[in-house]
Amino acid sequence: MSDPTSIDRATSEDVLRVRDLVVHFSGRRVAGRASTVRAVDGVSFEIARGEILALVGESGCGKSTIATSVMRLTQPTSGQILSGGEDLAKLRGAQLRRARRRIQMIFQDPFGSLDPRQSVFDAVEEPLVIHSVGATPEERRDRVMRALDFAHLRPPERLARAYPHELSGGQRQRVAIASAMVLGPELVIADEPVSMLDVSARSGILRLMVDLRDRLGVSYLFITHDLAVAWVVADRIAVVYLGRIVEIGPCESVVAAPAHPYTTALLAVTSEEDLPTEGDPSPTGSTEVLAGETPSAVNVPPGCRFHPRCPRYRTLGEPEVCRVSDPVLRAVSGNDGLVRECACHFPEGVS
């Protein structure tokens, strides 16, 4: 029999499969006609047990909408979100609540995600109460103290009595992590969990998250705009542009030898000292920084949705195929010998 005070270890080999996820919203009426915001436009990926998959892209690319859709905080328009033998996109009521015990979320803002009227103990205990976990108050207390200790909030007996205003930003985010972990989830969705923290607090939070993955077998869907942060924590990186994944593969291939010009552009604005130093980390291809902003998700460009901003498109003489044909993800083998998937008519460094 398992220890009732322990945080359960994830056991599923395949904790999440997302297939053809579409999330469209009704936009403003333009010239008397209703418009559609194509926030997520056909996204597929999977996350294995104990794996960290990072979704990377500029603000407005759709990565947070993907995250909230998996959590069912946003209702998908179509597609499948498969976890634990269920399609989360179809669940309602009590079934959805039970499924959410397996999938927890850490939000970006550690100052806004905690109720200032709740003590640390109350904040971490709340998920146990909502999901009726723990037969007695003593059992719930043991679970809370264990979660605080796992989150390096020590001594937990003292920190449990504190309130959010008494904590630093890093400590508040550790409370949010303890609250997510106390149920023993299979998957944690982390939406920009370090973007509002200072540099020293960021490194501690990232180390903690990787340590919890190693100790508990939990998987992460990690949302970030920073490729350097993704490199630190993730096993694989999926680069998102205008509602689509344009490149996905192992960190070492995506960072050291990107195939898609958008990935190359993201690397061009990433500090070199934050990138890997072993081997040859220098990304291949153009390092030209992108001009302009991401197009509106209401008016997605025809053909390749990246071509209006693509340096490679201009270098190749603006080929017609980029303007008329929307590329799909396909497996490519780079000169580094690693395989990744890339949605580009002219991927870089493909052997």
Residues 283 and 187 both lie in one domain: no
In a domain, 148, yes or no: yes
In a domain, 253, yes or no: no
- Both structure tokens of 207: 């180390």
Residues 229 and 291 both lie in one domain: no
- Model confidence over 150-175: pLDDT tens digits? 999 999 999 999 999 999 999 999 99
Residues 38 and 85 both lie in one domain: yes
In a domain, 243, yes or no: no
Domain count, the chain: 2
Residues 109 and 166 both lie in one domain: yes
- Residue range 118-133: mean pLDDT, rounded: 96
- Residue range 197-220: mean pLDDT, rounded: 94
| Contact status, residue 180 vs residue 7, Cβ threshold 8 Å | no
In a domain, 130, yes or no: yes
- Distances 96 to 24, 77, 185 between C-alpha atoms, Å: 21, 17, 14
| Contact status, residue 331 vs residue 347, Cβ threshold 8 Å | no
Beta bridge partner(s), residue 333: 339
In a domain, 1, yes or no: no
- Model confidence over 23-78: pLDDT tens digits? 999 877 766 677 899 999 999 999 999 999 999 999 989 999 999 999 999 999 99
Q: Which distant-in-sequence residues (6+ apart) come within 8 Å of 62 by Cβ?
A: 23, 39, 40, 41, 43, 240, 242, 243, 244, 297
Domain final residue pick, 184, 215, 234: 234
| pLDDT score for 28 | 77
- Residue range 265-277: mean pLDDT, rounded: 70
- Model confidence over 221-241: pLDDT tens digits? 999 999 999 999 999 999 999
- Model confidence over 285-331: pLDDT tens digits? 445 567 677 888 999 999 999 999 999 999 999 999 999 999 999 99
In a domain, 250, yes or no: no
Average pLDDT score, the chain: 89
SS3 (DSSP) at 340: strand
Burial class (CB within 10 angstroms; exposed 0-12, middle 13-18, buried 19+) of 93: exposed
- Residue range 181-206: mean pLDDT, rounded: 94
Residues 65 and 214 both lie in one domain: yes
In a domain, 246, yes or no: no
Residues 189 and 228 both lie in one domain: yes
pLDDT band of residue 338 (cuts 50, 70, 90) is confident
Task: Answer whether residue 9 shows pLDDT above 80.
Answer: no
Euclidean distance between the first and final Cα of the chain, in Å?
A: 53
CATH number for the domain that contains residue 107: 3.40.50.300
Domain final residue pick, 185, 218, 234: 234
Residues 166 and 60 both lie in one domain: yes
Residues 214 and 286 both lie in one domain: no
Strands, DSSP E only, in 1-32? Answer: 14-30
Taking the model in full, what pTM does it have?
0.89
Residues 70 and 180 both lie in one domain: yes
Dmax over Cα atoms in the chain, in whole Å? 70
Residues 230 and 316 both lie in one domain: no
Low-confidence winner among 80-89, 115-124, 179-188, 252-261 (lowest mean pLDDT)? 252-261
Task: Answer whether residue 181 shows pLDDT above 90.
Answer: yes
Structural domain of 161: 14-234
In a domain, 294, yes or no: yes
Residues 188 and 324 both lie in one domain: no
- Distances 15 to 102, 218, 341 between C-alpha atoms, Å: 9, 9, 21
Residues 273 and 212 both lie in one domain: no
